[in-house]
Amino acid sequence: MKPEIQIITQILPDHSVICILGGDHIPERLMLSTQEIRFAQAQLQAKDEYIFINSYNKSTYLIRLKDNIPHYKIREELRRTAYNLKKLIRENNHTELVITSDKAYKGAIEDFTEGLLLSIYSFDKYKTKAGTDDKKHYPEKLLLSGDIQDSEIKWLIDLTDAVYFTRDLIQEPVNQLNATSLSSEIKKIGDSAGFKVEVLTKGKIEALKMGGLLAVNKGSVDPPVFCILDWHPANCRNDKPIVLVGKGIVYDTGGLNIKTGDFMAGMNGDMAGAAIVTGVMHTVAKTAIPLHIIGLIPSTDNRPGGNAYTQGDIITMFNKMSVEIGNTDAEGRLILADAISYASKYSPELIIDIATLTGSAAMTFGNQAIALMTNADRKYINLLEECGKEVYERIAELPFWDEYGELLKSDVADLKNIGGREAGAIIAGKFLERFAEFPLIHLDIAGTEMLKKDDYYRPKSGSASGLRLLSTFLREIAYNYSEKK
């Protein structure tokens, strides 16, 4: 359970406290004894990551900020320290825990709190509690004390709420969350947050002739859905909407080109892009970002059922383009292409798609960077890069040269859905670009989302990579609009 966050003005003598230090001074308000202060100062000289003081009636944790590294890395180190402290915090079984700072940078309290909230997330919905004797737990309340703006705390609460439910959606197995039930969850989130959700069922998808989504769905017993999420506040500052597109493959077997070995493990998380777009829309609506933003989520599973689409099939996409199927495991780009084509009806300022799309992206950048390909104005990429550093969901750009698109040529159709063995992530991006009539940013999160082990506060099998990046990016765009006006 996520702890409740409250702001307090006074630290009481029996409060357990985490204090982030910008220097070696120990503030009096921590109410430590002379002996405890001497111990802490000796440990500070030893440059330990954190110092723990176990008093009779409380616990005190001291964190000394690192020096001589870029500010965005100081922020990330603080989040990671929160992760490293989580086990000790749990063992001490606090009901409440104060988080404060002394001579630290503005925002340090929020950064540590964010790191701790993201670190203690767990997906235990299907675990039975019977027979367990583990009574230890994380704090029920985090009490923040210091120079904190209410708006920043609201942002922190709403953003981490979104990360929690997004991770939950990604973790759900397909026998509990097929495309139809995913659309139901999206509708509930929209109703709660305040954005509109329209769900197009199979009949409407067929009427629209979304050939990519329908082809991928042919091997499934469950119907596809196409969700349209719309946040359009009265005070929106953009004349043209920004459209977000999320890949919603609720399970990917590879189709008739079935995945082998361990490659099918975790494929219930192949809808992470869809969950992340939903999480971003939640944050945008809950924090009332004054932008018109639309989310498009095509969703199905990809299975080798009796009428599954096959290698060599030629399908007609939503934009009337014909595609030769070179591999049924390159399905994500097909459903995204229909959605990107559909986005054109809104004449958007920008289209951003996010997807666990290619193993190539993961092999290129590992878990350290989101692969980015784009034909959009550099102002967007520069801002994304800045926001990526701020939340430490960094982007790394791959070339988007026209020559890569030549590898998608087909002898029998307008293009194929795969190229050669080389440059797989780029070729997938070039495929999507063919369906974009407006500027496109393509984010491939295969490496940063499908983790084999925890990466500090980013858990394996569903970290919601890109949610904090895009939410912060949209907030900054709204701010830039207001600055211009």
Q: Using the 3D structure, point to which of 143, 176, 201 is the last residue of a domain.
A: 143
Q: Is 132 part of a structural domain of the chain? A: no
Q: Is 366 part of a structural domain of the chain? A: yes
Three-class SS of residue 227? strand
Angle between helices 332-343 and 424-433 (to 10 degrees): 30
Sequence-separated (6 or more) residues with CB below 8 Å from residue 192? 282
Q: Is 202 part of a structural domain of the chain? A: yes
Q: Using the 3D structure, point to which of 143, 171, 193 is the last residue of a domain.
A: 143
Q: Is 83 part of a structural domain of the chain? A: yes
Torsions phi, psi for 288 (to 5 deg) = 55, 45
Instruction: Please report the pLDDT score of residue 484 as a whole number.
Output: 63
Asked whether residue 113 falls in the same domain as residue 199, the answer is: no
Q: 177-197 b/e with 16+ CB inside 10 Å = b?
A: bbbbbbbebbbebbeebebeb
List, run by run, the mean pLDDT of 10-residue segments along the chain (485 residues): 94 96 93 94 86 94 93 97 97 96 96 98 85 73 95 97 98 97 98 98 98 98 98 96 98 97 94 98 98 98 96 98 98 98 98 97 96 98 98 98 96 96 96 98 97 94 96 96 67
Sequence-separated (6 or more) residues with CB below 8 Å from residue 372? 381, 384, 395, 396, 397, 398, 441, 442, 443, 444
Asked whether residue 83 falls in the same domain as residue 177, the answer is: no
For 480, how many CA atoms within 13 A lie in the half-sphere containing its CB? 10
Three-class SS of residue 197? strand
Q: Is 270 part of a structural domain of the chain? A: yes
Specify the residue for token string 């340090």.
108
Q: Is 218 part of a structural domain of the chain? A: yes
Q: Is 38 part of a structural domain of the chain? A: yes
Contact by Cβ (8 Å): 291, 236? yes
Asked whether residue 94 falls in the same domain as residue 175, the answer is: no
State which residues form the domain around 82. Answer: 4-124+137-143
Domain count, the chain: 2
Instruction: Please report the pLDDT score of residue 134 as a whole number.
Output: 63
Helix (H) or strand (E) segment spanning residue 65: none
**Beta-carbon neighbour count of residue 91 at 10 Å?**
9
Asked whether residue 83 falls in the same domain as residue 186, the answer is: no
50 vs 45: CA distance, rounded Å: 11
Asked whether residue 167 falls in the same domain as residue 214, the answer is: yes
Active site residues: 259, 333
User: CATH number for the domain including 43?
Assistant: 3.40.220.10
Asked whether residue 373 falls in the same domain as residue 440, the answer is: yes
Instruction: Please report the pLDDT score of residue 135 as a whole number.
Output: 67
Asked whether residue 200 falls in the same domain as residue 329, the answer is: yes
Asked whether residue 241 falls in the same domain as residue 319, the answer is: yes
The candidate with the shortest Cα–Cα distance to 173, out of 235, 266, 80, is 266
User: CATH number for the domain including 403?
Assistant: 3.40.630.10
Asked whether residue 362 falls in the same domain as residue 314, the answer is: yes
Q: Is 407 part of a structural domain of the chain? A: yes
Asked whether residue 191 falls in the same domain as residue 105, the answer is: no
pLDDT tens digits, 258-272: 999 889 999 999 999
Asked whether residue 82 falls in the same domain as residue 10, the answer is: yes
Average pLDDT, the chain: 95
- Give 378-445 as a DSSP string: HHHHHHHHHHHHHHT--EEEPP--HHHHGGG--SSSSEES---SSSHHHHHHHHHHTT-SS-EEEEE-
Instruction: Please report the pLDDT score of residue 485 as a whole number.
Output: 55
Asked whether residue 367 falls in the same domain as residue 222, the answer is: yes
pTM: 0.96
